[in-house]
Amino acid sequence: MTSSCDIAVIGAGVLGLAVAADLRARGRDVCVIDPGGANASSVAAGMIAPAMESLLDPGAAEPVNRAALLRQARDRWPAFAARHGIALIRDGVDWIGPDADGVVAQLAALGFAAERTEGGVFCPEDWRIDPVAALAALGQGGEGLEGRVAAVQPHGAAWHLTLTDGREILARSVVLATGTAFPELPETVRRAVDRVQAIGGRLAFTTRRLVGRPARFAGGYAVPLGEGTVIGATMEAGGLLVEASGLQQTLLERACEALGLAEIGPVEWRTGVRGATADGLPLIGEVLPGLHLALAPRRNGWLMAPAVAAQTVAGIESRQTG
Ligand SMILES: Cc1cc2nc3c(=O)[nH]c(=O)nc-3n(C[C@H](O)[C@H](O)[C@H](O)COP(=O)(O)OP(=O)(O)OC[C@H]3O[C@@H](n4cnc5c(N)ncnc54)[C@H](O)[C@@H]3O)c2cc1C
């Protein structure tokens, strides 16, 4: 039997759910399809971090322009969080490490406020959310279909989705927000998504509260999460490495050194795979009539989600009403 919906969003990570939540807020009929379980969005540290990401992971784009883009994305967060009932924590970030004066100067050159502290630098410009709570808030009240899409094919002016269990869905518009895994797609779309690279990432969760607010240090960070702390994160080109004990060890050693600890104690390792393009910016837009991409935000899926959602919603609405 074939069911139908106006807009089918494939993937319930932060990008898919952000698009769906904004569409629902505008009264649109949306169905989100996902097999369920953990994804990159749920394991992320939840930093909304234009300042530190501009400084520490500059990417290929011109640094000042990229910093402005990330800052504009962050500035969408207060309204987005209020709209969807997400607690936005605006407690800033500490830099603990060498060259504090240089870090203040570099942040200033990128357009971010920062000040020297006894232990390093404080920058009020980076915020955060709790990823699991935020995903729950974004999904609230929405229609979800548990399943995996096997194929997406054009069907007249609409799109035909086939799930791996044989169910079929017809949708006027489709948003592909599947991270780094893709169903069978028309050739043009396949060529576009072939640009998405997988970057594995792992972080350690400890039930100890090691920092009062997020801290960045050379090669890592520590972020309060629930009652504990996450220490992240590795960048594993091509996807998660089979053997990463060396990377894990290095990450914990760096955290100990920066935070002045003899040891972290027992940790639980969490993993996810980020989608990224060569320029480090998301792959978004309508690639065939009615088929929209919301993919590959690299390390900044949470930061970029409101901006990606706004652009995707505008693209869908301009086509459907144009
Ligand atoms: C360790 C780590 C720490 C991070 N920390 C931060 C951070 O602090 N701040 C920040 O901004 N970003 C952070 N990121 C990056 C961020 O998590 C990602 O950019 C973001 O989660 C990507 O979201 P997404 O919706 O594109 O993909 P995902 O979260 O991967 O979601 C994709 C979804 O699509 C579903 N799917 C796949 N194929 C199909 C199919 N065929 N049919 C149906 N569903 C399908 C999957 O099941 C999945 O649920 C971190 C990432 C990692 C790995």
Q: What was the pLDDT predicted at 321? A: 66
Nearest residue (CA) to ligand 1, atom 6: 44
In angstroms, the Cα distances linking 268 to 32, 119, 133, 232, 278 are 30, 28, 19, 12, 31
Residue 41 CA, closest ligand 1 atom number: 21
Domain boundaries, the chain: 1-46+129-196+278-322
The pocket around ligand 1, CB under 6 angstroms, is made up of: 10-16, 33-35, 39-41, 43-47, 148-149, 177-179, 181, 183, 201, 203, 232-233, 272, 274-275, 295, 297, 299-303
Walk along the chain (322 residues) in steps of 10 and give the mean pLDDT of each run: 93 98 97 98 98 90 93 98 98 96 98 96 98 98 94 97 98 98 98 98 98 97 97 97 97 98 98 96 97 98 98 90 61
Distance (angstroms) between ligand 1 centre and the Cα of 41 equals 4
Question: 23 alpha carbon to ligand 1 midpoint, in Å?
Answer: 20
Residue nearest to atom 25 of ligand 1 (CA): 13
What pLDDT is recorded for position 226?
Answer: 95
What whole-number distance in Å separates Cα of residue 70 and Cα of residue 87? 20
Q: How far is the CA of 72 from the CAs of 76, 168, 308, in angstroms?
A: 7, 39, 12
- Measured in angstroms, how far is the CA atom of residue 2 from the centroid of ligand 1? 29
pLDDT attached to residue 59: 79
Q: Does domain 1-46+129-196+278-322 have CATH number 3.50.50.60?
A: yes
Measuring from atom 2 of ligand 1, which residue has the nearest CA?
44
Determine the atom of ligand 1 nearest the C-alpha atom of 298. Answer: 19
pLDDT of residue 61: 79
Is the preceding peptide bond at 255 cis, omega within 30 degrees of 0?
no
Strands 236-237, 197-206: pairing is antiparallel
Distance 159 CA to ligand 1 centre (A): 24
pTM comes to: 0.98
Quick one: which atom of ligand 1 is closest to the CA of 203?
A: 1
